[in-house]
Amino acid sequence: MRPLSAGNIKRLSAFVITQKDIADLPGMTKDIVERIKYAEVYESEKSELKLEGTPARVIWVYFGRDESDITNSLYFAYTIWVADDEMRARFFKDNKNTHVEDDICINENTSYDMLKKMQEPIKSREEYIEANKRVLALIVTKAERFIYDLQETANGTCTIEDMQSRYGEWIKRVNDDYIRLSDEDVPPDDLHDWSYEIMDLAGWVVDMSIWFENKRGGGIIGENEKWLMKSAIKRYKESLERLKKLEEDIEW
């Protein structure tokens, strides 16, 4: 479950694995609503719900067929429960895949079977791990030096032209691998977070390369751009720490 509160409207969402049919979802939704509508705090999947305070006015319930669906945010349907007419007018929408039954709005994903088929892996688990590790190794081989020179660029002791000369080919390779990884299979469930963290690391280099391209030809580096560099460096270091923790829990 996740809180989605905005302004003075308390909103929640829940994620459910079920083999039941669409016709069963209104009853399931109402049962879930009664169990969670007073939830105030959600810290992790292992934490207990704290049920107190003001009830939610809107609750979304997303239904998948297995753990992979929940991990990959793939749902065959989702439902919306609302507490009053104001929320009903705001969140109950009419379209060809939506209908209201027993005061529950049901949204069916008619593309579910096709998307599920598309997510079936083509590569073996070992091939998937090897491909991601190659990208990770490519990034970290020059990342620390790249960070150092970014700081020097922000301080004015290294130029954009210097950075392009030193890292142009490396950046191109990271960009190419980033695009290739984007087209890869959906990762195995237990590698999902690890794979996306590697994508984020590659994305950090991609973001900086776009900035370099736009800054080509020199020019004064402003305070906002210096902040951008420092933020990018912080993002990289935090991402690397998350990767280390994720790898401790993976059974290679």
Q: In this predicted model, what pLDDT tens digit does every residue of 199-249 receive, in sequence order?
A: 888 888 888 777 777 766 556 677 888 888 888 888 889 999 999 999 998
Please give the average per-residue pLDDT across 95-114, as a whole number. Answer: 94
Please give the average per-residue pLDDT across 130-139, as a whole number. Answer: 91
Residues 6+ apart with CB under 8 A from 2: 12, 13, 14, 42
In the block, residue with structure tokens 């529950």: 104
DSSP string, 161-198: HHHHHHHHHHHHHHHHHHHHHHTSPPPPGGGHHHHHHH
**Cα distances (angstroms) measured from residue 134 to each of 120, 128, 140, 201:** 22, 10, 10, 13
DSSP 8-state symbol, 24: G
Assess whether pLDDT exceeds 70 at residue 161. yes
Residues 6+ apart with CB under 8 A from 133: none
